[in-house]
A and B are shown apart, each in its own frame.
Chain A
Amino acid sequence: ETGVTQTPRHLVMGMTNKKSLKCEQHLGHNAMYWYKQSAKKPLELMFVYNFKEQTENNSVPSRFSPECPNSSHLFLHLHTLQPEDSALYLCASSPKIEDRGLYEQYFGPGTRLTVT
């Protein structure tokens, strides 16, 4: 596979469930990102990992727990979510985090999450 892949593509879960979203990049990049995209709102950056180390947590509730075991894989563990957490969750990667911001990010297709 090429680019950035995400599984599952669709997920329906109850508020008491625990589930995980998976992202894998095949681009040899070192930085990975989680975004939340809700209807009528701009993309919200959630977490940033650079060389497997978390460099940013954008005030995300603890019911979202990221994990980055290596530079190619990124997970988002979900538990006791709320209906307002329903959204499209996008993963992205870039070569690295660079101070002058020259690197674009490459996005996966997203996971459409519905919390019932």
Chain B
Amino acid sequence: AQSVTQLDSHVSVSEGTPVLLRCNYSSSYSPSLFWYVQHPNKGLQLLLKYTSAATLVKGINGFEAEFKKSETSFHLTKPSAHMSDAAEYFCVVSEVGSNTGKLIFGQGTTLQVKP
């Protein structure tokens, strides 16, 4: 069965400094992995996705993530944080091998950006 663990529940960075949000997954198959962002009182927006093509995936708003099979990781990074990046981030793995379309969500990481 697939699972996903976000290693930090809360990350705080200063504006202009790099962002690293960590995610580890468990999957018996080649997984599809996603990062979503949720701003307060809003729905979830897809940042980027990995579906077994290039291991370095570029997303919107300057975010990118690298799929590392040997480490079972899919960490999200951004070179320079902006105040508008403050939000909740979810690492998600798609349940492969079923026909339910089920997504398995991590617990979420709250990103705080200080001026």
Contact = CB atoms under 8 A, between A and B. Distances in A.
A98 B97 CA distance: 9
A45 B41 contact: no
Chain B CB within 10 Å, residue with most, of A97, A103, A105: A105
Interface in B60-115: 90, 94-103, 105-108
A104 to B, nearest CB: 5
Nearest to A32: B101
A16 B83 CA distance: 43
A67 to B, nearest CB: 19
Given A97-B99, A101-B94, A104-B49, A4 B32 contact: no
A64 interface: no
Nearest to B108: A42
A65 B105 CA distance: 24
Contact of B94 (A33, A48, A102, A108): A102
A100 B100 contact: no
A80 B90 CA distance: 32
Interface residues of B, number: 27
B29 to A, nearest CB: 8
B55 to A, nearest CB: 16
B90 A102 contact: no
Given A42-B108, A100-B32, A4 B98 contact: no
Given A107-B45, A108-B43, A99 B108 contact: no
B105 A42 contact: yes
Nearest to A105: B103
Given A42-B105, A42-B108, A104-B34, A99 B44 contact: no
14 contacts: A42-B105, A43-B105, A50-B101, A55-B100, A94-B101, A97-B100, A99-B97, A100-B96, A101-B97, A101-B101, A103-B101, A105-B101, A107-B36, A110-B42
Interface of B: 31-32, 34, 36, 41-46, 49, 51, 90, 94-103, 105-108
Given A105-B46, A110-B41, A110-B42, 4 more contacts: A100-B97, A101-B32, A101-B98, A107-B45
